[in-house]
Chain A
C-alpha cells in the first residue's frame, strides 16, 4: 500500500534581496510504500532538505501534491498541521534538537504531552528505552549526554507516538563513525519492525542501509537504486557509482 505519494512537486523561493525566484524543487515525483526504508541523496543545495520540509508540513509547496495515506496535505489548515505532524510524523534531526530545559524522559514525553495522550506513557517509554539502550539516561539532561546518546533520545522522541513515517534529516551528520553505525543499526532494527523510514542524507554509508535510494539533482529525481538482495557493501559501491555519475553531470 502506498503510504506517501509525491506528485510533480515544485517549490520556489523568493529571494529577500531581489525579486528573482529561486527554484529549489522543479518536478519531484515518487512514492513510498508502507514499511519501506528509503534514502534521498544529493549534494548540498540539491533541494533535498526543502523536499523533507515539504513532506514534514513545515513548508508549503508552490505546485504539485503530497499525499500521506491518501490525504492531500494542501487541504489541511495551518492550525491542523501541527497536530497532524505530531500524530503521524516522527522527526530525527542532524543537530538532535532536544530541549535543554527538559530531562531526557520529558523530552521523549513531549509529543505525547502536546497531543494530550499521556495515558500509559510509562510503558511506552520503558519498551522504547530498552530497544534504544537509554534506560539509564532517563533522568539526565540532554547537555549531560554524548552526541550518540542524544540522537538515541531524539529517535525515542520520534517513535513514541508510533508515527506512520519516520523522517530523518542527516541523522548521523554530527556523529563519529562508531556512533553513526550504531544509530544506523537502530534504523535497520526499526525497519525490520515494520517502520517506514524516509532519510535525507549525503552520506553514502548512511544511504547504503536503505532499501531504495533516490538521487536528487537540480530539483529533480535524477536516478534511483533498489537494494534488492545486495549486501550493504555492494549497495555502497552502487551508490558511489551513481554519485560519481551524478557529479559528472552525465544523464
Chain B
C-alpha cells in the first residue's frame, strides 16, 4: 500500500513528462495492435496477392515494433530524469534499493495497464476507420477485419516485455549509482564540444558515396539491394555530419569576428554550438524519420496514382485476347459477347509470331535463349541483354498501320518496348544492323510507335518487335527463337484481338471464362481485360499505399514526440540563461528574437536535410517504381511537392503545439 502510494505520487508530480509518455505508449500499442489485426484479418487473406501484402505487413510490424521500443525508452528517459531525484530523496529518507525497485515495478505495471487499455481500444477504433480508407483505395466493397485474440495476445505480450525492460533500466540505474548522485542527477554541466575531424570525414565520405550510389543505380533489379546500401550510408552520414559537421561549421563562424560579434549572431551561434552537442542525435533522427516518411509516401503514392496510366498503356483496348492463329475469329468473339449481354466495338486484330526470349549482344546479334545451358549463365552475367522478341510480316504491319512501307530482302523495321516509356534510350536497341538467326539485316527504321500495339510492357525485360519483309522469312526466323516445346500444341503465329467491351463487370468475367473454355485446354492463350486488371492493380498498389500511409502516420507520430521532448528539455535549460541575458541588458523582444532564430534553425535543419535527401533519392525511387512496374511520370514531382508541403505543414503544426510548452518553461519572459 505504502509503495503503491509513493509510486503513484511520483508519477503525479512528474505529470508533465508522464502524460506524454503514457500517450506515446498508448499510441505505440495502438499502432502495433493495428498491424497485428491486419496480419491476422481474413480481409487481407482474401486479397489478391495476399502473400505479398502479408509479407509487407510483417515487415512493417517489425519496423514499428523496433520503433516502439526505441520510443518507449527515449520518452521514458525524460520521465526517469525527474523521477530519479525523488528516488534519491526516498533513498536519503531511508528506503532500501529493493524498495525503489518495487516502486518502479508498480509504476511500470500501472503505466502498462493504462497504455494497453487505451491503446487497444483506440487501436481497434482506428483500425475500423483505416479499413474504410483501405476499402476506398482498393475499390472494394467490404473488408473483413474481425477482432482477433491472437493479435491481442501478441500485442499485450510485446508491451509487457517492453515495460519490463523499462523496470530493468530503472533497477540498473539504482544499483549503479549512489544516493547522492541520484539526488543530484538533474544537474549536469555540459562542456564545450570539440572538433571531431574523423567523424566528419567519415560522415562526408559516406554521404558522397551514398548519394553517388543512389544517383547511379543501373537497373530496377539492382535498385532494391542498392537502396539498402545507400540508405545505410546516408543514415551513417546524417548522424556523423549532424554531430561533427555542425560543430565545425559553428566554430568556423565563431572565428569570423566580423560575423560573430554582432548582437544578432553572438548568442545564437554560441548557444547552437552547445545545443547541437546535446541535440545532434535527436535532430539527425528527426531528419531521417522525415526522409523515410517522404520516400515511403512518394513511392507508394506514385505507385497508386500511376497505375491507371500503366493499364492504359499496356492495354490499348479494354480487352485483349491473344490465341494461336485461326483458333478464334471476330465473329466468334462477338457472338460469345452477345450471349453475355455485352457489346463490342473498336475491334482490330494483329497477327504476329508468339513471344520468345532472346539475348541481344553488344554487337547487335540476337541469339537464342537456352535455359540451363552454359550460355545462359554467361548471358545472365550481362543481364541487360535479355529481350522478348516478336516477329511480324510487312504485309500485316502495313494492314495494321495503313502504311505502304517497303522492305528489301535484307531489311527490317524495329519497334522497342520497355516498362519505362519516358526513358527509352536507357535500353540498347539495334539502330543500324541486327543479326538474326545468323543472317545480317539492315535496320531500315526504328519505329517510335505502332498504333494498336501497347506502348509499354509490364515486364522488366524490354521487348523488340521486328517487322520482316515476307511471310517465309518471318516464320523461318521466328521458328529459330521460339522454343520447340512451346510449339508442340501451338502454331507459330498468334492472332491478337483488341476490342472494347460494354457491360457489367460480372458479365465481362463470365464472358472471358466462357471464351477461355472454348479454347483447346493446353493452347497458348492470354486473355486480359482492363477493368479486371485495374481491379487487381488496385488491390496490389492500394495495399502498398495503405501500408505507406500507416508508416507515414507512425513516423509522424515519432517525430512529433521527439520534437515535444526536445522542447521540454530545452526550455528548462534555457530559462536560467535568458534570465542572465536580461540582467546584462538584453531586452525582452531581443531575447524572444534570439529564441526564435535558434528554434527555427533547430527545426528547419532536419526538414531541409530531409528534402535534400529526398531529391538525391529521386533516381532511386524511379528505379524502385520500375521494379514494381510503374514508370515515373512527371506526376511524381507533383506528388513529391504535395507530400513535402503536407509534411512541412504537419511538422509546423507539431512545432506550434509544442513550442507552447517551451515558452511556458521560459515563462518569466512574459511577465
Contact = CB atoms under 8 A, between A and B. Distances in A.
A81 B270 CA distance: 25
The 3 closest A-B pairs by CB, nearest first: A86-B585, A82-B587, A85-B585
Interface in A80-100: 81-83, 85-87, 89, 91, 93, 97-100
Q: Which of B190, B262, B263, B579 has the most CB of A within 10 A?
A: B263
A190 B162 CA distance: 63
B577 interface: yes
A118 B589 CA distance: 22
B426 interface: no
Contacts of B189: 100, 143
Contact of A110 (B274, B582, B584, B588): B584
Interface string A134-170: 0000000101000000000000010000000000000
A63 to B, nearest CB: 20
A82 B590 contact: yes
A100 B190 contact: yes
Contact of B266 (A98, A110, A157): A110
19 contacts: A58-B582, A79-B587, A82-B585, A82-B586, A83-B585, A85-B584, A85-B585, A86-B584, A87-B585, A101-B270, A103-B192, A111-B585, A113-B262, A113-B263, A113-B266, A114-B266, A114-B584, A114-B585, A116-B262
B593 to A, nearest CB: 12
A114 B577 CA distance: 15
A123 interface: no
A99 B580 contact: yes
Interface in A41-67: 56, 58
A106 interface: yes
Contacts of B158: none
Contacts of A114: 263, 266, 584-586, 590
Given A97-B584, A99-B580, 15 more contacts: A56-B583, A58-B583, A78-B587, A82-B588, A82-B590, A83-B585, A86-B584, A99-B270, A100-B189, A101-B274, A110-B584, A114-B584, A114-B586, A141-B192, A143-B189
Contacts of B271: 101
B584 A111 contact: yes
In this complex, which of A82, A115, A157 has the most chain B Cβ atoms within 10 angstroms of its Cβ? A82
Contacts of A141: 191-192
A109 interface: yes
Contacts of B589: 79
B563 interface: no
B207 interface: no
A87 B587 CA distance: 13
A82 B578 CA distance: 13
Contact of A91 (B270, B273, B584): B584
A242 interface: no
Contact of B261 (A78, A86, A101, A118): A118
Given A113-B262, A141-B191, A102 B270 contact: yes
Contacts of A116: 262-263
B581 interface: yes
A223 to B, nearest CB: 29
Say whether chain B's binding surface is mostly helix, strand, loop, or mixed. helix
A111 to B, nearest CB: 6
A112 to B, nearest CB: 8
Contacts of B263: 113-114, 116
Contact of B273 (A58, A79, A98, A101): A101
B666 to A, nearest CB: 15
A104 B432 CA distance: 76
Contacts of B270: 99, 101-102, 106
| Most B C-beta atoms less than 10 A away, residue of A58, A91, A101 | A101
A216 to B, nearest CB: 21
Contacts of A109: 261
Given A99-B580, A101-B577, A113-B262, A81 B587 contact: yes
A145 B588 CA distance: 29
Nearest to A96: B580
A110 B587 CA distance: 13
Contacts, number: 72
Which residue, of B580, B583, B584, has the highest number of chain A Cβ atoms within 10 A?
B584
Nearest to A110: B584
B258 to A, nearest CB: 9
Nearest to B580: A97
Contacts of B274: 100-101
Contact of B191 (A82, A83, A85, A143): A143
Interface-central residue, B266, B271, B577, B581, by most chain A CB under 10 Å: B266
A246 B282 CA distance: 57
Nearest to B257: A118
Contacts of A81: 587
Interface in B274-302: 274
B587 to A, nearest CB: 3
B337 to A, nearest CB: 80
A121 B582 CA distance: 22
Interface in B148-200: 189-192
B419 to A, nearest CB: 56
A189 to B, nearest CB: 23
Contacts of B580: 97-99
A83 B587 contact: yes
A56 B583 CA distance: 8
Contacts of B586: 82, 114
A39 B287 CA distance: 55
A172 to B, nearest CB: 18
Interface in B384-406: none
A78 B590 CA distance: 12
Most-contacted residue by chain B among A78, A81, A85 (CB, 10 A): A85
A51 to B, nearest CB: 16
Contact of B583 (A91, A101, A121, A143): A91
A157 B584 contact: yes
Contacts of B585: 82-83, 85-87, 89, 111, 114-115
A110 B266 CA distance: 8
B250 to A, nearest CB: 11
Contact of A113 (B191, B192, B261, B588): B261
Contacts of A56: 583
A77 to B, nearest CB: 10
A128 to B, nearest CB: 16
Interface in B229-267: 261-263, 266
A103 B579 CA distance: 18
B602 to A, nearest CB: 14
Interface in B567-615: 577, 579-590
A75 B586 CA distance: 19
Contacts of A111: 584-585
Nearest to B262: A113
A59 B402 CA distance: 94
A121 B271 CA distance: 22
A99 B581 contact: yes
Nearest to A122: B257
A116 B262 CA distance: 7
A126 B645 CA distance: 53
A157 B580 CA distance: 12
A98 B576 CA distance: 10
Nearest to B576: A97
A68 to B, nearest CB: 15
Contacts of A101: 270-271, 273-274, 577
B630 to A, nearest CB: 51
Contacts of A85: 584-585
A99 B261 contact: no
A85 B580 CA distance: 13
B56 to A, nearest CB: 47
Contacts of A82: 582, 585-588, 590
Interface in B632-664: none
Nearest to B581: A99
B387 to A, nearest CB: 65
